[in-house]
Structure 1
Amino acid sequence: MATLDRLFRSRRSLVRPGVLAAAALLGQAMAHAGDLTTSPTLTGDWGGLRKQLADRGVVFNLGYGNQLAHNFSGGTEHLTRDTDQWEFGTTVDLDKRWGWRGGSFQFTMTDRNGRNLGADAHIGNNLLIQEVYGRGQTWHLTQLWLNQKLLDDRLELKFGRMTLSEDFFSFSCDFQNLTFCSAQPGNLVGNYWVNWPTSQWATRIKYHPSADSYVQLGVYQVNPKYVDDEYARHNGWKPNNPSGTTGALIPLELGWQPNWQGLPGSYKLGAWYNTSDGKDLFFDRNHNPRGLTGLEPLERNGQYGAYLSLQQKVTGTAKGSGATLFLNFTQADHDTAQLDHQLTLGVQYKGPFESRAQDSIGFAVGATHNNGRFADFTRQNNARTGRDTVAGGGYEYVGELYYSWLPLPSVVLRPNLQYIVHPGGTTRNSNAFVIGLKSSLSF
């Protein structure tokens, strides 16, 4: 294991933006006679082996993503930083492979590397400018689960190491700013709602009352070690069950996926409850302002929240070009969540030009609110201790515009512009203008 660990770490110094060009050349060499202009992967069909394996129920996935960003304003320095992620996965259709009807298995490992522009440039932002950064720049066991369909596929049972965002409030990560990426509750209460690439032991039951609706309930382990960077560096890739579990996160989601004038939509309403105790942001154990007393915070029984996610295609054709609108809103409990609510809305347009049917344009704006109770505590604590800690009590506003260019079906280059107003929800931090490039390769 120690040898593997050293091997994993030694590779990091090699992964930089140049890997995109090198990997593309490697893909061309490995594709052999395959046509890269139509192949969804750079390495093609492996001389027919890939199709043979898929016919037998085994699909291998290998991907690489890189996110580059530079701040032209905001922060204390103007810097360029990049961060990346490798993804190695295997999906097994157990019916095709062994005649296990309705069963599927998923295994995924991820490896993250790089630097965080927001932290290095001291921008003070709440949400990551490069969404792929975070949860420890190391290897993670991201998925190791079994899913079983029953009752003519109307009932699904899932168990194993799972990420919340793959099932609850599942949302794309086309944008580079984390404000518009993945399951929104993880942006607010990420200390216990754990999104990709960090997994925890969990189970989920999903029922489809009709072809276009579902209801699902999950139970996810809550353990602070999973979100501890030091623990992740040494244990994030292991399928272990660490000590220190504090409770269970129980999300419930209702989903409806109708067609409006032949165009697809997705409407989700959800809520969650964390059985773990939470620390009150303002009151101490005696229900007095803890910024004045300096005592330990009041322990709250449980933590909770609710969310709404709406997506609807409004122009074009169901699977072709056209515009899709989205609106996401999440509210976390006011007693324990330092970021207590977030609202985002935007539009994505696929096929903006007749000759570029697979390209797309996206624009979104979002607001993330810093809990005023925590800001009040910080002001009182600063007065008592003489510190000058910055804690905003207002909104951090973010806007992002991107163009997604696919020179090949397996290669995505997505330049973007980001503007952050009141980073950290305070006017003490200067507004930031960022230019970025989000790139991905599928092998």
Structure 2
Amino acid sequence: MRLIGYGVVFLGANLLLAEPAAASDEHHDDGPSEEAVDCYGGPSGFWERSTLPGDFGGVRSALCKKGIQLSAIHIGEFLTNPVGGQKRGGKYQGRTELDLDLDFDKMAGVSGLTVHASSYWLQGGRLGEKSVGSLMAVSNIEAVPSLRLYTLWLQQNLWDDMVSLRIGQLAADDDFLISTGAANFVNSTFGWAPLVSTNLPSSGPVFPLAAPGARLKLAFTDEWSWKVGVFTVEPAGRPNGQPPHWRNHDGTLFSFAAGTFDISELAYSINQGKDDTGLAGTYKLGAWYASNRYNDQRWDSTGTSLASPNSTGVGKPIRGNWGIYGVVDQMLVRTGQGPDQGLSAFLRGGGAPSDRNVVAWDLHTGLTLKGPHESRPDDLVGIAFTFASISNSLQALDRDNRFFNNLPTRPVRDYESVIELTYQAALTPWWILQPDFQYIIHPGGNVPNPNSEGGLKKIENAVVMGIRTTLKF
């Protein structure tokens, strides 16, 4: 199976080097972008075209018309935390993504059948893990440096796209629990929420670890749709003492370990068309279940606190985990000619049982303004806030630790919160420059700083700032 994964990675790299392609900074959802479907039509001038290298004299358009679409995108950033955290530091981080899409309707006359493969080259340090000490990674491209296969799937659409079935190596955050407004921000909490990322093994089947699974989507009407997904719950394979990203270092493990992660989401969307004059809105309600085994966060199997010297040291086993969530993306004011130009808001939140989880509930909200000035119609400015509450069981365990170890000043975990201010300057259709500022309150959820004397001083609130550049090839 690993040989198949390596083949996809290097096939994508060779195709890209031969013919650079259009790109998207979002994960694939229901197939190629509208721009790709148009086979790279549009302005051909260097500063006006949609990708940096252009159409290569019509070669890419010709491939597209035959059902072969190639894309690449590079995101690079330098972030630093001059204040707070475990220690001061600065890191460069980068993610180069290669994508290959095959349309078998164009290639072989098989209507609705597509294949998608993606791979990553991940570079640089991990500021959130190494310097800030935050529960939520300060960047949504933060990962162990590697060259890895990401997704590899087949999709069949039926009955004018009313039914869509996808199967293969999938990423859950391509389809579930995602707010389009929140996705404009850099901190990882605005992507895959901490309600699941901190509570599932290896954060679940999301960047940078996809997992075998299947996703079914039913589009009942233009407004109503329903999705359900089943994934293997442990994308990194069975624990062996190594961190998850190292256990599945190249993305070709195809793990079926530990059970399944099941998720379902009902969505209602309005005013999504280009010609709709009303304010666009999407409302989602979802639930998830993980079938693997968990341990109680406070009590062992004898009913003794895990902080007690008489404890077995192993939490009482609990079978399964679950949670519920809701997402709202709503345009508030339309200010320009484009369907997405204006002021929009997002709100997302959910909850999970306290006894087996790190985060019991979280909340994310923010505002984005697309086209802040008529001379900058494609720029975006945004401010966002998130709050992740540490479970009552873990808070109680920390208080038990204070009692049994006679450490009355040891910090008690409570929450982690992030405030982020960002600006996306669209210098060209293929180049975005994004300065970013974050203020992280209670990094790690108010945990002791391992670099402090005696480990009794909490990690101080941190400032993270830097700049990101996104290039579409």
Contact 1:188 / 1:340 at 8 angstroms: preserved in 2? Answer: no
- Paired AA for residue 304 in structure 2: N
* Compared CA separation, residues 338 and 227, structure 1 to 2 (3 A): farther
- Paired AA for residue 199 in structure 1: A
In the alignment, the residues of structure 2 paired with residue 74 and residue 267 of structure 1 have an alpha-carbon distance, to the nearest angstrom, of 37
Please name the residue that 1:299 is paired with: 317
1:431 partnered with 2:424: no
- Paired AA for residue 75 in structure 1: G
User: Aligned-pair distance for 1:325?
Assistant: 0.6
In the alignment, the residues of structure 1 paired with residue 289 and residue 409 of structure 2 have an alpha-carbon distance, to the nearest angstrom, of 31
User: Aligned-pair distance for 1:372?
Assistant: 2.8
1:119 partnered with 2:138: no
The range that moved more, 192-201 or 62-71, is 192-201
Aligned with 1:277 (options 273, 281, 293): 293
Q: How does 1:48-63 map to 2 (within 5 A)?
A: 48-63=58-73
Contact 1:188 / 1:332 at 8 angstroms: preserved in 2? Answer: no
1:217 partnered with 2:237: no
Residue segments in structure 2 that go unaligned for 5+ positions in a row = 10-42, 448-457
Please name the residue that 2:20 is paired with: none
Please name the residue that 2:364 is paired with: 344
In the alignment, the residues of structure 2 paired with residue 270 and residue 390 of structure 1 have an alpha-carbon distance, to the nearest angstrom, of 37
* Compared CA separation, residues 231 and 334, structure 1 to 2 (3 A): closer
In the alignment, the residues of structure 2 paired with residue 273 and residue 280 of structure 1 have an alpha-carbon distance, to the nearest angstrom, of 17
In the alignment, the residues of structure 1 paired with residue 80 and residue 229 of structure 2 have an alpha-carbon distance, to the nearest angstrom, of 39
In the alignment, the residues of structure 2 paired with residue 73 and residue 225 of structure 1 have an alpha-carbon distance, to the nearest angstrom, of 34
Please name the residue that 2:100 is paired with: 90
- Paired AA for residue 311 in structure 1: D
- Paired AA for residue 187 in structure 2: N
* Compared CA separation, residues 406 and 269, structure 1 to 2 (3 A): same
1:131 partnered with 2:131: no
Aligned with 2:212 (options 189, 197, 201): 201
Secondary structure in structure 2 of the residue aligned to 1:303: strand
1:333 partnered with 2:353: yes
Q: Deviation per CA, 1:74-132, whole angstroms, max 9, x where unpaired?
A: 025332112111101111122122111011111000121211223333x3321111221
In the alignment, the residues of structure 2 paired with residue 196 and residue 387 of structure 1 have an alpha-carbon distance, to the nearest angstrom, of 38
Residue segments in structure 1 that go unaligned for 5+ positions in a row = 9-32
User: Aligned-pair distance for 1:281?
Assistant: 0.4
Aligned residues: 413
In the alignment, the residues of structure 2 paired with residue 389 and residue 130 of structure 1 have an alpha-carbon distance, to the nearest angstrom, of 32
Q: Deviation per CA, 1:228-258, whole angstroms, max 9, x where unpaired?
A: 7656447443544346x11111101101111
In the alignment, the residues of structure 2 paired with residue 35 and residue 184 of structure 1 have an alpha-carbon distance, to the nearest angstrom, of 43
Secondary structure in structure 1 of the residue aligned to 2:381: strand
The RMSD of aligned alpha carbons is 2.7
In the alignment, the residues of structure 2 paired with residue 222 and residue 408 of structure 1 have an alpha-carbon distance, to the nearest angstrom, of 40
Please name the residue that 1:267 is paired with: 283
- Paired AA for residue 418 in structure 1: Q
Contact 1:253 / 1:271 at 8 angstroms: preserved in 2? Answer: yes
User: Aligned-pair distance for 1:189?
Assistant: 2.2
Q: Deviation per CA, 1:111-169, whole angstroms, max 9, x where unpaired?
A: 21211223333x332111122113x3212321100111112321111100000000112
* Compared CA separation, residues 210 and 391, structure 1 to 2 (3 A): farther
Secondary structure in structure 1 of the residue aligned to 2:460: coil
In the alignment, the residues of structure 2 paired with residue 107 and residue 283 of structure 1 have an alpha-carbon distance, to the nearest angstrom, of 44
In the alignment, the residues of structure 2 paired with residue 246 and residue 141 of structure 1 have an alpha-carbon distance, to the nearest angstrom, of 21
1:253 partnered with 2:265: yes
- Paired AA for residue 165 in structure 2: L
In the alignment, the residues of structure 1 paired with residue 316 and residue 236 of structure 2 have an alpha-carbon distance, to the nearest angstrom, of 22
- Paired AA for residue 254 in structure 2: N
Q: How does 1:277-426 map to 2 (within 5 A)?
A: 277-292=293-308, 293-295=310-312, 296-316=314-334, 319-381=339-401, 384=404, 392-426=412-446
Please name the residue that 1:148 is paired with: 156
User: Aligned-pair distance for 1:36?
Assistant: 2.1
Identity of aligned residues (%): 26
In the alignment, the residues of structure 1 paired with residue 410 and residue 327 of structure 2 have an alpha-carbon distance, to the nearest angstrom, of 32
* Compared CA separation, residues 315 and 220, structure 1 to 2 (3 A): same
* Compared CA separation, residues 60 and 329, structure 1 to 2 (3 A): same
Q: Deviation per CA, 1:345-378, whole angstroms, max 9, x where unpaired?
A: 1011111111111111011111111123113224
The range that moved more, 180-189 or 380-389, is 380-389
Secondary structure in structure 1 of the residue aligned to 2:85: coil
The range that moved more, 92-101 or 370-379, is 370-379
Please report the TM-score for the alignment, with normalisation by the length of structure 2.
Answer: 0.81
Please name the residue that 2:25 is paired with: none
Q: Deviation per CA, 1:165-223, whole angstroms, max 9, x where unpaired?
A: 00112334321111222455443324253212311100111111111111111110122
